[in-house]
């Protein structure tokens, strides 16, 4: 009876980040579960490309024009073609996921985990909610948070590695400290790090029971019970993950000054204080090392 009840509940997972907070690990874990089918991408970049100016790179028309060398590969690759279709006709996006859930009775969870969705406006979240509701699909939101200082620093290291497109325009010619100093106040950094604003926007549309918030610092650790909590949230059978598997981790090769750390933490002081109020000061201060730089 319990397994039957699970099959009767079908969800679309809206993964909204945060960037550099374990979303690749989350996607890998969910994809390993039999009743989950997340489709052809981890990140569909459907809504950020159309609603966030800094994400225009992910628009199909912009991507083609600015990446002519990749044009042939992309336009002959069916997966990329589907992404372009979704952006040109949003109904196809919603229909695509609804079809995944309706065509296979054993599939109960599908979704789109695109970290930059953290910067979407309330109206866009409402549009997502309403479009899936019209298709009798319930949206479940997942948002993983990370110490704002560490998130910004990790993003800079990622772009400095040079093995991914530098879509945040991090100045890779600078040393790590100067690159981070230039980055943390940019719009790209802001909308990916202002967790308080993201959560407030989400709660303006979705019921609290349909929003799962966890922390990078605890979600990826054995013994915290966070993945078990996620399984319950999605009404899926808990499967023990491989916590030792690390994905997209950028090692720290350089240190940064306490002065810059304090500067960044104070810039995002509202985020730290929001987390203190919402999730407990002692808990957050313990897992977010940047909290000690609050003045």
- Tell me 138's DSSP state: E
**Model confidence pLDDT, tens digit, residues 256-293:** 999 999 999 999 999 999 999 999 999 999 999 999 99
- Percent of the chain scoring above 70 in pLDDT: 88
pTM here is: 0.91
Closest Cα to residue 288, out of 238, 201, 79, 275?
275
Residues 276 and 285 sit within 8 Å (Cβ to Cβ): yes
Number of domain units in the chain: 1
- 221 backbone φψ class: left, alpha, beta (φ>0; ψ -120 to 50): beta
Quote the domain boundaries for residue 106. 2-293
**Model confidence pLDDT, tens digit, residues 112-151:** 999 999 999 999 999 999 999 999 999 999 999 999 999 9
Q: What does the block give as tokens for 291?
A: 């909290």
Query: Confidence band (pLDDT; 50, 70, 90) for 46?
Result: very high
The pLDDT of residue 75 is 45
The C-alpha atoms of residue 19 and residue 116 are separated, in whole angstroms, by 7
Count CA atoms closer than 13 A to 228's CA, side-chain side. 5
**Model confidence pLDDT, tens digit, residues 172-231:** 899 999 999 999 999 999 999 999 999 999 999 999 999 999 999 999 999 999 999 999
The pLDDT of residue 2 is 47
Q: What are the helix (H) ranges across the chain? A: 2-8, 23-31, 48-51, 60-66, 71-75, 78-88, 90-103, 122-134, 148-161, 176-183, 187-193, 195-203, 216-219, 226-233, 258-267, 269-279, 281-287
CATH number of the domain that residue 38 is part of? 3.40.50.300
3-state secondary structure at position 187: helix
Q: What pairing do the DSSP bridges indicate for beta strands 109-113 and 138-145?
A: unpaired
The C-alpha atoms of residue 145 and residue 284 are separated, in whole angstroms, by 11
Cβ within 8 Å of residue 100, ≥6 positions away: 37, 39, 107, 110
Q: Round to the nearest angstrom and report the end-to-end CA distance of the chain.
A: 54
Mean pLDDT of the chain: 90
């Amino acid at each position: 009876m319990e397994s039957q009840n699970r099959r009767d509940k079908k969800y679309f997972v809206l993964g909204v980040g945060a960037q550099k907070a374990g979303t690749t690990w989350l996607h890998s874990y969910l994809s390993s579960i039999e009743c989950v089918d997340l489709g052809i991408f981890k990140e569909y970049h459907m809504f950020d490309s159309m609603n966030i100016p800094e994400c225009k790179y992910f628009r199909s028309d912009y991507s083609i024009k600015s990446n002519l060398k990749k044009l042939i590969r992309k336009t002959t690759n069916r997966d990329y073609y589907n992404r372009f279709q979704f952006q040109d006709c949003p109904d196809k996006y919603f229909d695509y996921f609804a079809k995944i859930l309706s065509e296979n009775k054993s599939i109960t969870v599908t979704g789109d985990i695109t970290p930059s969705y953290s910067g979407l406006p309330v109206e866009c979240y409402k549009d997502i909610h309403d479009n899936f509701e019209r298709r009798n699909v319930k949206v479940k939101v997942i948002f993983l948070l990370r110490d704002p200082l560490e998130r910004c620093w990790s993003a800079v290291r990622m772009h400095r590695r040079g093995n991914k497109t530098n879509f945040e325009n991090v100045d890779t010619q600078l040393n790590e400290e100067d690159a981070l100093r230039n980055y943390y106040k940019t719009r790209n950094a802001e909308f990916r790090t202002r967790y308080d604003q993201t959560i407030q926007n989400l709660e303006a549309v979705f019921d609290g029971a349909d929003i799962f918030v966890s922390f990078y610092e605890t979600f990826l650790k054995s013994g915290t019970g966070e993945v078990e909590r996620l399984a319950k949230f999605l009404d899926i059978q808990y499967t023990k993950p491989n916590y030792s598997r690390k994905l997209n981790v950028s090692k720290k090769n350089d240190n940064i000054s306490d002065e810059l750390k304090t500067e960044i933490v104070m810039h995002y002081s509202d985020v730290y204080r929001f987390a203190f109020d919402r999730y407990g000061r002692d808990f957050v201060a313990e897992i977010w090392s940047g909290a000690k730089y609050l003045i």
